[in-house]
Amino acid sequence: MSAPLLSIRNLTVRIGNITPVQDVSFDVGAGEVLGIVGESGSGKSLTLRAILRLLPDVAQTAGDILWQGRDLTTLAEPEMRALRGGEIAIVFQEPMTALNPVLTVGRQITESLTEHLGLRGRAARTRAAEVLDLVGIPDARRRLSSYPHEFSGGMRQRAMLGIALAAGPKLLLADEPTTALDVTIQDQILKLLLRLRQEMSMSVVLVTHDLGIVAETCDRVAVLYSGGMMETGSVETVLARPSHPYTLGLINSVPQAKNARQHLAAIPGMPPDPIDLPPGCRFAPRCALASLDCTREQPRLRALATDHATACIYPHSVVRGDLSFAS
């Protein structure tokens, strides 16, 4: 595999005396879709924002963030600004709050075009209409002068994507882009993302709590739990041969449509309180495989195979079908 576009090593975010992101590492290659999956509170959104240095001043970031070889943590602010939206773009979960309600959608696109591509006036508007067209909004030219509240939910999400991608970035960070949408629209948006990946030769980091979306849309997956990276690898490998009890738990908790009589297998217990983390592996209190060694120190990601890493010290005991949490 060629050198990754984005390389995160040991990313740690500390806010006050809690560490919502600890020692997170993953790579994103050119043109691939990486899914980061985890529950709420697992630190997924913070990780994305940390990449673009969008966290509030009270948050302290440590670790390496390498974008095409450049270290983003030490980049000067003007260069960081050029990067944001220009090379790496981000979209948030709720388009209604992410878009400025008193500016037209066209304006919100053209300001990005002006900043990054130097386009103004008619050239900018023409390009903006092309962008709206690209994301599948009909009647693009006219809709440039519409306001966000005049769009329906799915259209708004498309508009937000258009605004974010206007300057043609190479990487899109998508923070739960479909969570706030109806299931049918979700599907459309995901297909749109895949099409954009193709047409714009772009990579995508898709943050979600829905393993089903990961299975359908992503090439590779990284599993996040309580701020720590539990497992990374290609989607086929991880879903077929999960090597972390948490991943297995996630897989098992997805209801299978064909089996109507199935027990809904939820992982017992709750994620730990960030102020009061358990010693060693954070998943240990809920893990059926946990031993004393697990509580001794925080296990780190170790490579199992070429593109498969896990943070569990008993990866080979986790075999699909063999181990279940449901009684």
Partner 1 sequence: MYLLTVLGHRVLQTMATVVFVAVLIFALMHMLPGDPAQAMLGDRGTTEAIAQLHHELGLDRPIPVQFWEFLRRILTLNLGESVAMRIPVTLLIADRLPNTLLLTAMAGVLALLIAVPLAFLAALRQGGWADAIIRGFSQLSLSMPVFYVGLILLITLAAGLRWFPVGGIGSGFVEDLYYLFLPSLTLALSFSAILLRNLRSSLVEVLHAEFVSFATAKGLRRRVVLGRHVLRNASISTVTLLGLHTSSLVGGAVITETVFGIPGVGRLMVDSIFSRDYAVVQGLTMVLCVLVSVVLLAVDALQALLDPRIST
Residue 81 in contact with partner 1, rule: CB under 8 A: yes
Residue 84 in contact with partner 1, rule: CB under 8 A: yes
Pair 67, 87: CB distance under 8 Å: yes
Pair 204, 172: CB distance under 8 Å: yes
Q: What is the chain's Cα-based Rg?
A: 21
Site for partner 1 in 163-222 (CB under 8 A): 163-164, 167
Q: Contact with partner 1 (CB under 8 A): which of 76, 102, 183, 264?
A: 102
Give the binding range for partner 1 (CB under 8 A) out of 61-69, 83-91, 216-224, 300-308: 83-91
Residue 298 in contact with partner 1, rule: CB under 8 A: no
Residue with Cβ nearer partner 1 (65 or 267)? 65
Other CB atoms within a 10 A radius of the CB of residue 257 amount to: 7
Q: Which two tokens stand for residue 285?
A: 């209190």
Alpha helices in 182-241 (DSSP H): 183-199, 211-217, 235-240
Give the binding range for partner 1 (CB under 8 A) out of 36-44, 99-107, 254-262, 306-314: 99-107
Q: What is the DSSP letter of 170?
A: S
Residue 38 in contact with partner 1, rule: CB under 8 A: no
Pair 119, 110: CB distance under 8 Å: yes
Distance in Å from the first CA to the final CA of the chain: 42
Q: Contact with partner 1 (CB under 8 A): which of 21, 33, 83, 213?
A: 83
Q: Contact with partner 1 (CB under 8 A): which of 25, 37, 50, 92?
A: 92
Pair 267, 325: CB distance under 8 Å: yes
Residue 101 in contact with partner 1, rule: CB under 8 A: yes
In the complex, the residues that contact partner 1 under the rule CB under 8 A are 52, 54, 81-86, 89-90, 92, 94, 97-104, 111-112, 115-116, 147, 149-150, 160, 163-164, 167
